[in-house]
């Protein structure tokens, strides 16, 4: 079987903030058209890593390659134009604007009327409907301010916007945080739908049940280092939790009441 080339390759990536090393010499390959979960405790370096992937931070050292070519480091717009979109926990949506305005935020469509440049709202509305329709999301009130939508609907707008602008990779930071059971299921289905459409998805999540529901592989960060990458079907929650807590997949010996060490089984 031919080897599948990664869509993103991270090599020797390090990010320091003064005396603090947030990401430490990380090597990681992201396979195409699959869901990769990035997990770890608070402060493990997950957010810093995706902020380098998105161009927000420039690494102290190391390289990131996208489809075999060096990624423009520290340049968010260039990264976005290549087809890598990041959906942060706050979704980066303008609360007082409606759905079409958010889908086209910063990329508004204009037309000329009597020599005057005006927003082409009809075009933006129809294109937004198409974008959400690809995800089977039907919002009856397209001109409602985003703040009136549910958490799951907001996620749908963010994902629809990314797809409309030809994202090949979508990075999602805690996509199910603060969502109810029904909305969480909706977002899980959206992630699986993205994968079915050939989109590469990277999720950061503390929710292990969600990670095991949608991911194909799981990368664990511990104190800024990548300490393990597991295929979901070849691991379990206990193994991942051990990596998150100790940085090792080996079970630690425990002290018995008699003072001797014994291994857990």
pLDDT in tens, 104-159: 988 889 988 888 889 899 999 999 988 888 777 777 778 889 888 888 888 888 88
- Tell me the CATH number at 241: 3.40.50.300
Domains in the chain: how many in total? 1
Domain-embedded: residue 2: no
- The pTM score is 0.84
Q: Give the structural domain span for 52.
A: 8-262
Mean pLDDT on 218-239: 95
Domain-embedded: residue 60: yes
Per-residue model confidence (pLDDT) at position 259: 44
Domain-embedded: residue 3: no
Poorest-pLDDT segment among 19-28, 86-95, 188-197, 247-256: 247-256
- How many Cα atoms are found within 13 Å in the side-chain-facing hemisphere of 159? 31
Poorest-pLDDT segment among 121-130, 171-180, 221-230: 171-180
């Amino acid at each position: 079987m031919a080897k599948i080339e990664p869509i993103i390759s991270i090599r020797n990536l390090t990010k320091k903030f003064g005396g603090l090393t947030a990401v430490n010499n990380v090597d990681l390959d992201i396979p195409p058209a699959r869901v990769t979960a990035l997990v770890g405790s608070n402060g493990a370096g997950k957010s810093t890593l995706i902020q380098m992937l998105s161009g927000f931070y420039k690494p102290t050292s190391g390289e990131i390659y996208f489809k075999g070519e060096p990624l423009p480091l520290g340049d968010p717009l260039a990264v976005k134009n290549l087809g890598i979109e990041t959906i942060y926990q706050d979704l980066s949506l303008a609360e007082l604007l409606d759905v079409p305005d958010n889908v086209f935020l910063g990329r508004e469509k204009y037309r000329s009327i009597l020599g005057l440049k005006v927003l082409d709202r009809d075009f933006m509305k129809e294109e937004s409907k198409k974008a959400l329709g690809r995800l089977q999301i039907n919002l009856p009130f397209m001109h409602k301010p985003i703040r009136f939508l549910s958490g799951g609907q907001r996620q749908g707008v963010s994902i629809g916007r990314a797809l409309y602008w030809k994202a090949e990779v979508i990075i999602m930071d805690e996509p199910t945080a603060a969502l109810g059971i029904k909305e969480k299921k909706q977002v899980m289905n959206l992630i699986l739908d993205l994968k079915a459409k050939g989109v590469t998805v990277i999720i950061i999540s503390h929710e292990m049940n969600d990670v095991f529901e949608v991911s194909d592989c799981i990368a664990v960060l511990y104190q800024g280092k990548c300490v393990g990458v597991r295929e979901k079907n070849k691991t379990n929650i206990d193994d991942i939790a051990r990596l998150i807590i100790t940085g090792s997949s080996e079970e630690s010996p425990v002290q018995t009441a008699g003072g001797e060490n014994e291994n857990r089984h």
